[in-house]
Amino acid sequence: MSLIEFDNVTFSYRAGLRPAIKNLSFTLESGETLALIGHNGSGKSTLARLCNGLLIPDKGEVRVDGQSTRGKNVFDIRRKVGVVFQNPDNQTVATIIEDDVAFGPENLGLKSEEIRKRVDDALESVGMLGYAKRDPFRLSGGQKQRVAIAGVLALKPRVMILDESTAMLDPLSRREVMEVVYDLVRKENMSLITITHFTEEALEADKVLVLDGGEKYMEGGREVFLKSKELASIGLTAPTAVRVADALRAKGLDVARDVLYDEDLVKALCR
């Protein structure tokens, strides 16, 4: 049984409107990481909201751990699927960081000591324990994002969905936050869906799903990023190494076909 399963899902925000998600099927297994890419308005955030039952499909079915989001058990589903949205300012519910992180576990009805432990663990793992009593609004963008991630981690979800949660960060903090996330995912054996514009960031994931106009455009492993022409035609840029390799090939140089990372490129050139 897959952890998340989209079965021919169609969804539009209003009847008569062009569907934001159209005939989409894919699966995410337990422990797997998936990068979801696509340009603005391609339906990425809609997909995230479909995963935890904030939106219900018009046609088809979304199943989490075998349960349909249509059922009465959205609560169970949201325990398993933690979503971190794009803007951290609009996700903070409290004026003290630890109270904010505690919000999820408090909703689960856990005991006070258990909540305390989860909050401390979550803050610790994103490296924000030292800030526990601070005001979340006085943090930097990257720190706010970490707190938002901790808020979802404290729920101990089976899968975490990051909806462009690093888009507002500078490249360095983005890499830092993503490293933290991938470390956590591997340590806790969680699954992960990262939604991003940055193909470079998506290279970390096991699987890639490319959306265009609400439809599946490409799906597969990292080799998807080798198809720079197809990506370019829907407004996405392939990773730098791939583009450099393409350019060199166009100039007649014999560069290996499977160059994805900068290191691959270096190796291919220094051969």
Ligand X SMILES: Nc1ncnc2c1ncn2[C@@H]1O[C@H](COP(=O)(O)OP(=O)(O)OP(=O)(O)O)[C@@H](O)[C@H]1O
Q: Which does 40 bind (CB under 5 to 8 A by kind): Mg ion, ligand X, other proteins, none?
A: ligand X
Residue where the block lists tokens 């800030």: 131
Closer to ligand X at the Cβ: 100 or 164?
164
Which of 43/82 has CB closer to ligand X? 43
Report the residue number whose CB is nearest to Mg ion.
45
Give the separation between CA 22 and CA 212, rounded to whole angstroms. 10
In this complex, which beta carbon is closest to ligand X, that of residue 115 or of residue 210? 210
| Smallest distance from other proteins to CB 41, Å | 17
Helix axes 240-250, 262-269, angle to 10 degrees: 30
Q: How far is the CB of 214 from ligand X (least distance, A)?
A: 7
Nearer to other proteins, 99 or 264 (CB): 99
User: Is the CB of 96 or the CB of 184 nearer to other proteins?
Assistant: 96
Please, which of residues 2-21 interact with ligand X by CB under 6 A?
13, 20
- Dihedral pair phi/psi, residue 240, rounded to 5°: -50, -45
- Residue with Cβ nearer other proteins (33 or 92): 92
Which residues 149-188 are close enough to bind ligand X by CB under 6 A?
A: 164
Residues present in the chain in total: 271
Residues that bind Mg ion (CB under 5 A): 45
Q: Which residues make up the interface to other proteins (CB under 8 A)?
A: 49, 52, 54, 75, 78-79, 82-83, 85, 87, 89-96, 98-99, 102-112, 115-116, 119, 133-135, 137, 151-152, 155
* C-alpha R_g of the chain: 20
Say which entry of ligand X, other proteins, Mg ion, none residue 89 contacts (CB below 5 to 8 A, set by partner kind): other proteins
- Which string of x and - marks every residue 20-49 that binds ligand X (by CB under 6 A)? x-----------------x-xxxxxxx---
Binding site for ligand X (CB under 6 A): 13, 20, 38, 40-46, 164
